[in-house]
């Protein structure tokens, strides 16, 4: 099936995180302007979990957000947006469907593996199958791509896109693609922001089990304290390096999404004209800085350049202190959220 070239006028804006960036860009296209932090907050994206039983490449998973795809799900549900989602067995069918939707003038969101996206810098290309991009046109054998973590749009060859869409492993993405079919442009953003905020505050402070929510931070601190005994010097350094990556690497906006969340609180404070919420945004920003201090000193220890007093026990103390700050913070935020 040969489809003509198509270029959909798509306003690409760079974001810190791919999922929230795609939400923001797609919503703006459909007449509902929502910033990235707003998308993150409404979708209740912030979370914390340390799961020693769930390992990737032999290292326990630490996560600063809810599961991939869930932000999108919560966001669209809260605002009454209808989304068409599809998966395919056959790559050709997946590309035909993409071409068909593009020909209707609709940009298409999809899941890809960063390992198979040639336009990304090599250092970031691991087998991670959860990267969201938008395709907004095609020219011959090339597709026009809005990758939210990049400052401009780019292109990808059809063959490469097929590879990226049909990457195997965890998760098996099977050409997964999605596009909004109905977006209420008069959706109540204020109400959605309040509900999103309340959900995050509640889940951070009230989730049972020691490894989830703000409790999870202290839980990880306890594990970190024993890293050297348990994993040996090299193993401990690798695990620590992995923690830094989960917290700071591309896609988090810094400090494990804490700065994006602070920006969401600030925007909501302005939207609702609630100066008290502004103060909470600033506190969240300050806690974000504590996370950054932690990563900074952890980085020195990884590299073997730390001063003598920076040890695993010292870092564990820091993390424990962050856990305490966040426990207090989210309890207060939960109380405030009930008054909004």
Binding site for another protein (CB under 8 A): 14-16, 36-37, 115, 119-124, 126-127, 149-152, 168-169, 237-238, 241-242, 244-245, 248-250, 253-255, 259-260, 262-263, 266-267, 281, 285, 288-289, 292, 295-296, 298-300, 302-303
Q: Say if strands 142-146 and 59-65 run parallel, antiparallel, or are unpaired.
A: unpaired
Least distance (Å) from another protein to the CB of residue 205?
23
Minimum distance from residue 78 beta carbon to another protein (Å):
22
**CB distance 170 to 180 below 8 Å:** no
CB of 184 vs another protein, minimal distance in Å: 27
Q: How far is the CB of 265 from another protein (least distance, A)?
A: 9
- Return the number of the residue (107 or 253) whose C-beta is nearest another protein: 253
- Cα angle for residues 311, 217, 316 (degrees, 5° grid): 10
Decide whether 15 or 132 has the Cβ nearer to another protein: 15
d(CA 293, CA 295): 5
Cα–Cα distance between 258 and 46 in angstroms, integer? Answer: 8
Q: Using the minimum distance from each CB to another protein, give the nearer residue, 60 or 254.
A: 254
The DSSP annotation for 151-207 comes to: SS-EEEEHHHHHHHHT--SSS--TT-EEEEEE--TT--HHHHHHHHHHHHHHHHHH-
Tokens describing residue 191: 């109400």
Question: Nearest distance from residue 52's CB to another protein, in Å?
Answer: 20
Residue 89 DSSP code: S
Task: Supply the minimum distance, in Å, between the C-beta of residue 285 and another protein.
Answer: 6
* Closer by beta carbon to another protein, 5 or else 11: 11
* Least Å from the CB of residue 241 to another protein: 4
Nearer to another protein, 163 or 199 (CB): 163
Please, what is the angle between helix 275-303 and helix 227-248, to 10°?
A: 130
Q: In angstroms, what is the minimal distance from the CB of 101 to another protein?
A: 27
**Residue 196: how many other CB atoms lie within 10 Å:** 26
Nearer to another protein, 221 or 262 (CB): 262
Is the CB of 206 or the CB of 285 nearer to another protein? 285
**Residue whose entry in the numeric block shows the structure tokens 């020693």:** 52
Question: In 38-54, which positions are buried (b, 16+ CB within 10 angstroms) versus exposed (e)?
Answer: bbbbbbbbbbbbbbeee
DSSP structural state of residue 252: S
Contact 262, 329 (CB under 8 A): no
CB of 253 to another protein, least distance (A): 5
d(CA 172, CA 20): 21
Beta carbon nearer to another protein, 88 or 179: 88
Q: How many CA atoms lie within 13 A of 284 on its CB side?
A: 24
To which H or E segment does residue 317 belong? helix 312-337
Residue 278 φ then ψ, to 5°: -60, -40
Nearer to another protein, 2 or 123 (CB): 123
Residue 220: which H helix or E strand, with range? helix 215-225
């Amino acid at each position: 099936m040969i489809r003509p070239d198509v270029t959909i006028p798509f306003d690409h804006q760079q974001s810190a995180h791919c999922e929230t960036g795609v939400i923001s860009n797609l919503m703006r296209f459909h007449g509902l302007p929502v910033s990235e932090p707003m998308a993150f907050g409404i979708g209740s994206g912030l979370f914390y979990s340390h799961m020693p039983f769930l390992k990737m490449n032999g290292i326990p998973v630490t996560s600063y957000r809810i599961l991939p795809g869930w932000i999108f799900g919560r966001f669209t549900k809260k605002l009454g947006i209808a989304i068409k989602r599809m998966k395919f067995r056959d790559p050709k069918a997946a590309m035909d469907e993409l071409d068909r939707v593009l020909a209707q003038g609709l940009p298409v969101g999809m899941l890809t593996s960063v390992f198979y996206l040639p336009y990304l810098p090599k250092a970031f290309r691991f087998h991670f199958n959860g990267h969201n991009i938008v395709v907004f046109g095609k020219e011959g054998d090339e597709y026009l791509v809005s990758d939210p973590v990049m400052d401009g749009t780019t292109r990808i060859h059809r063959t490469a896109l097929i590879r990226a869409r049909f990457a195997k492993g965890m998760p098996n993405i099977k050409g997964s693609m999605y596009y909004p079919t109905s977006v209420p442009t008069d959706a109540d953003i204020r109400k959605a922001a309040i509900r999103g905020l309340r959900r995050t505050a509640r889940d951070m402070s009230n989730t049972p089990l020691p490894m989830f929510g703000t409790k999870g931070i202290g839980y990880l601190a306890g594990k970190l304290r024993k890293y050297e005994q348990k994993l040996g010097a090299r193993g401990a350094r690798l695990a620590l390096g992995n923690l830094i990556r989960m917290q700071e690497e591309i896609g988090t906006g810094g400090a494990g999404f804490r700065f994006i969340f602070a920006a969401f609180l600030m925007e909501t404070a302005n939207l609702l004209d609630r100066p008290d919420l502004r103060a909470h945004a600033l506190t969240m920003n300050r806690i974000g800085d504590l996370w950054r201090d932690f990563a900074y000193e952890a980085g020195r220890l990884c590299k073997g350049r730390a001063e003598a007093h920076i040890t695993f026990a010292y870092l564990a103390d820091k993390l424990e202190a962050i856990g305490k700050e966040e426990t207090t913070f989210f309890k207060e935020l939960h109380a405030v959220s009930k008054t909004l």
